[in-house]
Structure 1
Amino acid sequence: MTQATTPRPQLFDRRAIAAHRNRLTPQALFLHDIARDEIEDRLSMVNRSFTSPALVAPFAEGWESCLPDAKHVADDETLDLAVGAHDLVVHAMSLHWANDPVGQLIQCHRALREDGLLLVVMLGGQTLHELRSALATAETRLLGGLSPRVAPMAEVRDLGALLQRAGFALPVADVVPLTAKYRDLQHLMHELRGMGETNAMTQRLKVPPSRHLFAEAEEIYRTTYATADGLLPATFELICLTGWSPSETQQKPLRPGSAKARLADALKVPETPLPK
């Protein structure tokens, strides 16, 4: 007799994500422009020519100069990527909305040929920490509890481990911190709507928040974080991931104890023995 399996809980509501993206304001996509610049910079440092790239992204616009011949793939839970079809996969500005980020990375790995390259850029855990704190404090004061309002995002130290779990070699994870400034909380929320980055958590409250909540949140935000010129700073943390499909031709780390020269000699300093 076959046992029924419990469906995996869905952290994000994919229908809500699609609806939010339909309200896109192109001028609000400055984060996507920065993400594209980061990808271009990383590709320029790789001494390789890629002939069959794929781009996993919510919007293909703006990527033509960076990846003119790339296959554009929607960031669905199941990616439209054929096994072994690509030598480069770029996953841009959407992995933070994935219900199964490891599964997404595994699908990208399967789509890569041997020694193929994966580049990911996504929002990380420090993104909008000021807004998260202000809303949490305001809601606790007014309502005596918290509800899901700002989506949780992964930290850079965890994402490097996800690359290894997905089977990638030579994994690297690094951070690009950014700060934007806004006139007030309404200005920030308007820009987040224009990016398609507003709350799409499955457990979000379905009723509109009260004006009192946002008024209280803005007062807390302004008191805690406002700049000298009265603007509200908002942190956006871009995390960039790099991984390679394993190949026998790739460099391998040396075995412990196999070094043929001492670090002290290279640095021209005396070697101090460790205490016993």
Structure 2
Amino acid sequence: MTGNNGIPQLFDISLLAQRRKRALSKYGEDGDFLLREVASDMLDRLSLVMRPFPEIVELGGHTGLLAKSLQNRKGTRRITRLEQVPDFFSGKEQGIVVDPEILPLKAGSINLLVAPLFLHWINDLPGLLLQIRQCLAPDGLLMATLLGRESLKELRQAFLVADSEITGGASPRVAPLPDLKDMGTLLQRAGFTLPVIDHDILTVRYASLFDLMQDLRRMGATNILHDRSRTMLRRDVLLRAAEIYQQEFSDPDGRIRASFQILSLSGWAPDESQQKPLKPGSARISLTSVLGDKSRQQ
């Protein structure tokens, strides 16, 4: 499916909002264990940045967990949450309901934008990164976490084999996710300076595939692909997938493993104060004088 702007629409973003809304209503903010893990890590990373961020935006956090924690950070003047539906706001929070692919922010108005576990659902990620860079003030910071391509690889494989065996085909059930190597290129193309990208694999163990799928529902993170099957998952396919998962991805104690690849990225809006690499030939001391002329050594 292609949108009005010609961008392929891989994800049904409105469905994501519905599922997150249902999960938050039923399980509360404690239902999303992965978001809690990621928010804690992002706070640790921000603690290493010894400077204030007066104007902060949280994009797509849906529980507001990270925004609440940043409220107490020294130098914070205001935090604005951008969410898909008003149900994600509570109390006197500063929030705006938005289409997450069109940011209603003035150029150069934000010092820090955080996006916990959200950008991987965006159809036009290069376009959104450009918008984020433009809304950041000079020397403003983007910090985001995304699910990477290695996430739920076991679940993807189990359903691929089960579908192939029983239906003779394959239905897309696990979303295609960004690759670590691609994110650095996307940040640079959007005009960010000093980009940093790293990743971690979080392995979670479950009693069965059914417990894993229940956790995904608690996170509102079940299949939102536009090309997903609209028919109910066949029971025989589900049971076969569970069997394959148990056979291929279980530990000696019988519990299965589920991998979540967490991509962490940051980038700064350009500013004259930032350190810049020297131009070729501009160094005042030659490398040879520092290391010695190795070509003459025997």
Normalised by the length of structure 1, the TM-score is: 0.90
In the alignment, is the contact (CA less than 8 A) between 1:53 and 1:67 conserved in 2? no
Quote the residue 1:96 is aligned against: 120
Quote the residue 1:216 is aligned against: 240
Percent pairwise identity: 38
Output aligned runs, 1:89-238, within 5 Å.
89-238=113-262
| Per-residue CA distance 1:214-261 (angstroms, 9 max, x = gap) | 111111111111011111110111111110001111101123454535
- CA distance in structure 1 between the partners assigned to 2:16 and 2:225 by the alignment: 9
The 3 A distance-change label for structure 1 pair 78 and 222 is same
Q: Which runs of 5+ in 2 are unaligned?
A: 73-77, 85-99
Runs of 4+ in 1 over 3 A off after TM superposition: 256-259, 261-266, 269-273
> RMSD value over aligned CA atoms?
2.1
Normalised by the length of structure 2, the TM-score is: 0.84
| Per-residue CA distance 1:33-55 (angstroms, 9 max, x = gap) | 11111211121111211111111
Output aligned runs, 1:13-32, within 5 Å.
13-24=12-23, 25=27, 26-32=29-35
The 3 A distance-change label for structure 1 pair 48 and 141 is same
| Per-residue CA distance 1:23-70 (angstroms, 9 max, x = gap) | 213333111111111211121111211111111124143221234541
**Which amino acid is 2:130 matched to?**
I
Quote the residue 2:36 is aligned against: 33
Aligned partner of residue 188 in structure 2, secondary structure:
helix
- CA distance in structure 2 between the partners assigned to 1:104 and 1:157 by the alignment: 18
Report the alpha carbon displacement of residue 147 of structure 1 after superposing the two structures with TM.
1.3
Report the alpha carbon displacement of residue 127 of structure 1 after superposing the two structures with TM.
0.6
| Per-residue CA distance 1:144-203 (angstroms, 9 max, x = gap) | 111111000011100111101111011111002101111111100011011011000001
Q: Is 1:262 the equivalent of 2:287?
A: yes
**Which amino acid is 1:20 matched to?**
R
- CA distance in structure 1 between the partners assigned to 2:107 and 2:165 by the alignment: 52
Aligned partner of residue 209 in structure 1, secondary structure:
coil
Q: Tell me how many residue pairs correspond in the alignment.
A: 267
Deviation larger for 197-206 or 62-71: 62-71
Report the alpha carbon displacement of residue 6 of structure 1 after superposing the two structures with TM.
6.9
The 3 A distance-change label for structure 1 pair 85 and 227 is same
Q: Is 1:66 the equivalent of 2:70?
A: yes
- CA distance in structure 2 between the partners assigned to 1:42 and 1:79 by the alignment: 25
Aligned partner of residue 22 in structure 2, secondary structure:
coil
In the alignment, is the contact (CA less than 8 A) between 1:23 and 1:193 conserved in 2? no
- CA distance in structure 2 between the partners assigned to 1:10 and 1:163 by the alignment: 21
- CA distance in structure 2 between the partners assigned to 1:58 and 1:36 by the alignment: 9
Quote the residue 1:240 is aligned against: 264
**Which amino acid is 1:167 matched to?**
G
In the alignment, is the contact (CA less than 8 A) between 2:56 and 2:113 conserved in 1? yes
Quote the residue 2:51 is aligned against: 48
Aligned partner of residue 229 in structure 1, secondary structure:
coil
Aligned partner of residue 45 in structure 1, secondary structure:
coil
In the alignment, is the contact (CA less than 8 A) between 2:64 and 2:81 conserved in 1? no
